[in-house]
Amino acid sequence: MRWERWLNRYSIKFKLILILLAATLSSIGLTGAFSQYFYMQAAKKDFFQFADDASYRLNRQIELYFQQMKISVSSLLAGPLPNRSDLTRAAEDVGIIQNWLASEGPTSSSLLADLQDVLNNYVALNYSEVDSTFLVAVDGRTVSNLQGIDESIEEYRSEPWFGAEMNESLKVMPTHLSEQTGNQVISLIVPVFSTDTMQLAGRLIINLRVRELEKTIVSATLAKKGYFFIVSDDGTVVYHPDSSLLGLPIQDTELADLRLNRSSSVQTIQGTEMLVSSSESELASWKLVAMVPFAEMASGVKVARDAALAAILILVAIVLIVVPIAAQRFTRPLRELKRLMEQAEKGELDVRAEVVPGKDEIQLLRHGYNRMTSRLSQLIDTVGRMKVNEMNILLGQKEAMIRALQNQINPHLLYNTLEIINSLAYVERNERIQVIAKNLGDYYRYTASIQEPFVSLREEIEHAKKYLEIVKIRFPRHFQSRFYVNEKYLDARIVKCSLQPLVENAVKYAVEPNSGSGTVIVSAYHEERDLVIEVADNGGGIPADKLEQLMLRLDGIAARTEDQLSGSPSLGIANVHARLVLHHGPRYGLSIASFEGRGTVVSIRVPLEDQSGEFRPVELEE
């Protein structure tokens, strides 16, 4: 690879420094990054836990305030409140509010004045943050504590609470501008029940000034730049430190990008990353939201990051000093070995490296170098002796070649003699002797030609047929031979002289003992990518014990093919098996199946290859 080639151009010292620096600096960097990440996560978790708790407590405090206000008006709404003009009339000990809610038709101005006084007394004696109050009957009649307002409804149609549905539970209406006083208020809608029928008789609207609510919220601190604000369930801003946002839909404010579907999250608001936590009020149906700039809460992370950066710089400085010194120390023995090897390259094999006891790899290299130079000296001496022996062998080979050329005279004499016999048989018209002489001559020529170790199956079959023709002349009446080989296998490669010895073996042990009565069948088929050639006879078969011994012998030959070939000049079953294993491996060779009294089948298994020389599998037609 390219980076490996690039590294190979530099020394071990440089690569050692590079690796140590990279490993150390990456470890320091990862440690700093993980520390900052986990510290930041812890800071977020702490903020969310604190903000959730603060929001929850602040919401509960506001809800408790609303509940207390509801309780404070219970006696006012239920009575008994006697007419102020006759405080001693026990017979009419019924609250004037209950009396007015139960009445029908217009109300006298004196009663309206009494009702206004009751409402004003409540405001004056209880809560200074109450901006105004409105008592509304089920038929729409309305009375307020504000002076100069009658019970007609025209004055109140623009108020947000006017169109609200009568409800039997306490409700809070988001911040809005009161048309009567011009103040930003929150409307607390308190249901009023009849003391006689226990049915809903009307409702009391208490408008609370937002600035009073602000005092409660501001008292709950949330970091330096953090703050709380309230959003109603319809998206109206109930409270915000920026009073210009009060009563506006949140979509029309700078908080339009705020997502309140999660209780705790980190969000970007107008380009500033903010930590946001919210708590929902079941009573008021609003969300109290706490927001703090993330940078403010992460100030501790910045301090930790700066400290980690300083530590990293110090560590880097130490590493830059220590690593080169250590690399110099570690590579010094290697440079010494390099110098010694350069001397050995020049032929100075008597130079030895200094060895210090120990298990250091450098010491092992020194031991190895010393053993290598000693061995090289021995090999040089051995090679010198071998050169002398080689010259002697070459002389011996030349003498053997001369003897071999002389020995070739005998086969030529045999071929010439067979040709003379063939010619005489032709002259005297003896066809059987002519066939025997011709086939025997072809047989010896085929077996004597040893230039190629492989031939085609076609050649092996032709060679076997010539031998069987001679056998047929010997046993003309009862001997038969058959060849069942598909033409698609005829060009397959096979070791030379593999088939004929098996055919000869079948004739020797199956046909001759029966005075020539017998049949030899040669067939071929393929299994996956192997070619299987079978030589079958109908002789007496091989006894089980002898068959077992023969198979053990073949297994032994597979393990010692070279020894068997060198010591066995015959071309019998053992020789054929040994040559097949030698050329193709132990998976191939001969296998024998014999059925006593019925015959024997000898199978040749070889790779199914053609004669192209590239050993490509033969294409088979299914």
Report pTM.
Answer: 0.41
Question: Are 378 and 485 members of one domain?
Answer: no
Report the residue count for the chain. 622
Let me know if residue 97 belongs to a domain: no
pLDDT at 522: 96
Q: How many domains does the chain have?
A: 2
Q: For residue 522, what are the β-bridge partners?
A: 483, 535
Inform me whether the pLDDT recorded for 225 exceeds 80.
Answer: no
Inform me whether the pLDDT recorded for 367 exceeds 90.
Answer: no
For residue 551, what are the domain limits?
481-607
pLDDT at 3: 61
Nearest residue to 562 via CA among 549, 579, 545, 584: 579
Averaged pLDDT score across all residues of the chain: 76
Inform me whether the pLDDT recorded for 551 exceeds 70.
Answer: yes
Q: What is the pLDDT of residues 464-522, one digit of tens each?
A: 998 898 888 888 888 999 999 999 999 999 988 899 899 999 999 999 899 889 999 99
Domain finish residue from 331, 364, 395: 395
Let me know if residue 164 belongs to a domain: no
Question: Are 391 and 491 members of one domain?
Answer: no
Inform me whether the pLDDT recorded for 86 exceeds 50.
Answer: no
Burial group, residue 557, by CB count within 10 angstroms (0-12, 13-18, 19+): buried
Give the model's confidence band at 454: pLDDT under 50 very low, under 70 low, under 90 confident, else very high: confident
Q: What is the pLDDT of residues 555-569, one digit of tens each?
A: 877 665 444 444 443
pLDDT at 178: 79
Q: What is the pLDDT of residues 386-440, one digit of tens each?
A: 887 777 656 654 554 444 444 444 454 455 555 566 666 666 666 777 677 777 7
Q: What is the pLDDT of residues 301-335, one digit of tens each?
A: 667 667 777 877 887 788 778 777 877 777 777 77
Q: What is the number of other CB atoms lying within 10 angstroms of the CB of residue 613? A: 9
Domain finish residue from 334, 360, 395: 395
Nearest residue to 305 via CA among 26, 31, 21: 31
Give the model's confidence band at 81: pLDDT under 50 very low, under 70 low, under 90 confident, else very high: very low
Give the model's confidence band at 258: pLDDT under 50 very low, under 70 low, under 90 confident, else very high: confident
Question: Are 373 and 487 members of one domain?
Answer: no
Question: Are 485 and 603 members of one domain?
Answer: yes
Question: Are 391 and 494 members of one domain?
Answer: no
Domain finish residue from 360, 395, 430: 395
CA–CA gap between residue 324 and residue 280 (Å, rounded)? 63
Query: Tell me, what CATH number does 592's domain have?
Result: 3.30.565.10
Contact 62, 287 (CB under 8 A): no
In one-letter notation, the amino acid at residue 443 is Y
What φ, ψ does residue 104 adopt, rounded to 5°?
A: -130, 155
Asked if omega into 80 is within 30° of 0 (cis), the reply is yes
CA–CA gap between residue 531 and residue 607 (Å, rounded)? 6
Let me know if residue 514 belongs to a domain: yes
pLDDT at 82: 47
Strands 200-209 and 184-193: antiparallel
DSSP secondary structure letter of residue 94: S
Rounded to an integer, the average pLDDT of 116-120 is 82
Q: How far is CA 275 from the centre of its chain?
A: 35
CA–CA gap between residue 500 and residue 516 (Å, rounded)? 18
pLDDT at 475: 87
Half-sphere exposure of 168 (CA within 13 A, CB side): 5
pLDDT at 568: 41
Inform me whether the pLDDT recorded for 621 exceeds 80.
Answer: no
Give the model's confidence band at 538: pLDDT under 50 very low, under 70 low, under 90 confident, else very high: very high
Question: Are 384 and 487 members of one domain?
Answer: no
Let me know if residue 377 belongs to a domain: yes
271: alpha, beta or left, given left = phi > 0 and alpha = psi -120 to 50? left
Let me know if residue 237 belongs to a domain: no
DSSP of 171-236: EEEEEEE-TTT--EEEEEEEEEE-TTT-SEEEEEEEEEEHHHHHHHHHTS--TTT-EEEEEETTSB
Inform me whether the pLDDT recorded for 604 exceeds 80.
Answer: yes
The pair of structure tokens assigned to 179 is 């048309």
CA–CA gap between residue 559 and residue 135 (Å, rounded)? 115
Let me know if residue 139 belongs to a domain: no
Question: Are 487 and 597 members of one domain?
Answer: yes
Let me know if residue 25 belongs to a domain: no
3-state secondary structure of 562: helix
CA–CA gap between residue 464 and residue 364 (Å, rounded)? 64
Let me know if residue 557 belongs to a domain: yes
143: alpha, beta or left, given left = phi > 0 and alpha = psi -120 to 50? beta
Rounded to an integer, the average pLDDT of 22-44 is 75
